[in-house]
Amino acid sequence: MMNIDLKKSKAVTGAEAVANAMRQIEPHVVAAYPITPQTPIVEYFAKFVADGVVRTEMIPVESEHSAMSAVVGAAAAGARAMTATSANGLALMHEIVYIAASSRLPIVMPVVNRALSGPINIHCDHSDAMAERDSGWIQLFAETNQEAYDLTILAIRLAEHEDVRLPVMVNLDGFILSHGVEPVEFLPDEVVKEFVGKPKRVYPLLDTENPVTYGPLDLYDYYFEHKRQQVEAMEHAKKLFPKVAEEFEKISGRKYDFVEPYKLDDAEYVMVALGSTNSTIKYVVDWMREEGFKVGALKIWMFRPFPKEKIQYYLNGRKAVVVLDRSASFGAEAPLYEAIKSALYEATIRPRIGSYVYGLGGRDIVPEHIRKAFMDAIEGNLLVDEQRYLGLRE
């Protein structure tokens, strides 16, 4: 668990925390379009720009499609460029999300997770992020506002590393984090500035002495090679993430990794989840531990690249694993479940495993739901091919 010094912290919403990370990063360009629940990030940031707190040039674009297009242009030009979005906005960006990754532009984008229509809904689930999981972006998930702040800063270094050069989505749960107030310990501005440093420019468009062509027509003779490079870049991201996390720990005292184990040492039953639900899971772990159940949790901080080895390390040999998904994959297994199950194929001692879909469209997840899923595991009542639902009316 994060140790937050309450004396040094400020009670802020996730949106304010992220906007302040952006203020401290002070990117050259921010292009954004407001969408609930991302809106307050853009509002806070627009105020920083209007007040001259940052030198950032803001482009108040007419759509998310143009937001992503403009940051692609800005990043290619040689600027550090950021945007932020949610759900339908991310879906509208979709085409350019792929282009950002394949053009190897290190754009950092907070994504305030919200259910992707339809019917239209404004509340939290992870269907928006999951629709982009094969886009070539690094995907990080925050449990708390502190993490959303920290990961936004850390993401800059990871994205811009010359061996990575990939865009990063920092996911934070809509409303729960974006509009929920929590204590956040901010780093001093100059510390963040020094940590992120000046962006390293690779093939900047504005270098007219060395003109480059971005976005050519890439046919069957080279497209495949470029895709292979993206695969490699993800491998590099995996290798370099611990290094960047270590450097971040030096300035913050907060340690990040691919995953966060919680009371796992002797745990026989482990729950795996993304995002803010982990706080509820930890609460239930504590509660059930008091009753003598050997339960624990594994939080996934990094979903792409998927930290398979870490998952195997932590889950191999457990009695049972319960995977919670805040999105469904209609006609197939839920995204996180599918990934965990696939990782466990190589485990020497495979745990029993069960899939639970919860919280779609912002449906509340309460400790009793989580306890119920744990109890299923403990009672040997898990079916590998059965998708179950928490908090759903029959």
Using CB under 8 A as the binding rule, whether residue 206 contacts another protein is answered as yes
251 in contact with another protein (CB under 8 A): no
Residue of the chain from 205, 240, 347, 375 that contacts another protein (CB under 8 A): 205
How many CB atoms within 10 Å of residue 6? 9
Query: Rule CB under 8 A: is residue 66 a binding residue for another protein?
Result: yes
Among 12, 17, 25, 59, which residue sits at the site for another protein (rule: CB under 8 A)? Answer: 59
Residue 65: CB minimum distance to another protein, A: 6
Radius of gyration of the chain (CA): 21
The candidate with the shortest Cα–Cα distance to 195, out of 142, 255, 147, 154, is 154
Residue 199: other Cβ atoms inside 10 A? 18
Residue of 42, 70, 234, 270 that binds another protein (CB under 8 A): 70
d(CA 167, CA 105): 6
233 near another protein (CB under 8 A): yes
Beta-sheet strand order (sheet of 387-390)? 259-262, 295-300, 269-274, 320-325, 352-358, 387-390
71 contributes a contact to another protein by CB under 8 A: yes
Query: Which listed residue (2, 4, 77, 181) binds another protein by CB under 8 A?
Result: 77
Q: Indicate which single residue of 5, 51, 221, 266 sits in contact with another protein (rule: CB under 8 A).
A: 221
Note whether 333 and 341 are within 8 A (CB): yes
* Burial environment of residue 8 by CB neighbours within 10 A (0 to 12, 13 to 18, 19 or more): exposed
| DSSP type of residue 358 | E
At closest approach, how far in Å is the CB of 171 from another protein?
Answer: 23
Q: Are 124 and 274 in contact (CB under 8 A)?
A: no
As measured in angstroms, the least distance from the Cβ of 205 to another protein is 4
- As given in the structure block, the two tokens for residue 343 are 């990782």
Helices 335-344 and 308-315: angle between axes, nearest 10 degrees: 70
Smallest gap from Cβ 33 to another protein, in A, equals: 10
Regarding 85 and contact with another protein (CB under 8 A), the answer is no
Minimum distance from residue 232 beta carbon to another protein (Å): 8
CA distances from 203 to 67, 166, 210, 213, 240 (A): 21, 14, 8, 9, 22
Using the rule CB under 8 A, is 79 a contact of another protein?
yes
Considering only the stretches 1-9, 23-31, 183-191, 256-264, report the one whose residues sit in contact with another protein under the rule CB under 8 A: 23-31
Contact status: 289 vs another protein (CB under 8 A): no
3 binds another protein (CB under 8 A): no
Closer residue to another protein (CB): 229 or 342: 229
Identity of the residue, 6 or 219, whose beta carbon is nearer to another protein in the bound complex? 219
Residues 166, 231: Cα–Cα separation, whole Å: 11
Contact 195, 153 (CB under 8 A): yes
**Using the rule CB under 8 A, is 286 a contact of another protein?**
no
Q: How far is CA 177 from CA 112, 113, 174, in A?
A: 8, 10, 6
**222 contacts another protein (rule: CB under 8 A):** yes
**Residue 290 sits in the site that holds another protein (CB under 8 A):** no
Secondary structure (3-state) at 334 = coil
Q: How far is the CB of 149 from another protein (least distance, A)?
A: 23
- CA dihedral defined by 72, 157, 178, 330, rounded to 10 degrees? 70
Q: Binding another protein by CB under 8 A: which of 12, 84, 99, 244?
A: 99
Q: How far is the CB of 229 from another protein (least distance, A)?
A: 5
Nearer to another protein, 24 or 171 (CB): 24
Note whether 264 and 314 are within 8 A (CB).
Answer: yes
Q: Does 62 bind another protein (CB under 8 A)?
A: yes
Nearer to another protein, 239 or 255 (CB): 239
Judged by CB under 8 A, does residue 208 bind another protein?
Answer: yes
Strand partners of residue 233: none
- The correct pick among 22, 32, 42, 74 for binding another protein (CB under 8 A) is 74
At 296 the three-state DSSP class reads strand
Q: Write out the residues near another protein by the rule CB under 8 A.
A: 28-29, 31, 55-57, 59-63, 65-67, 69-79, 81, 95-96, 99, 102-105, 165, 198, 202-203, 205-208, 210-219, 221-222, 225-226, 228-229, 232-233
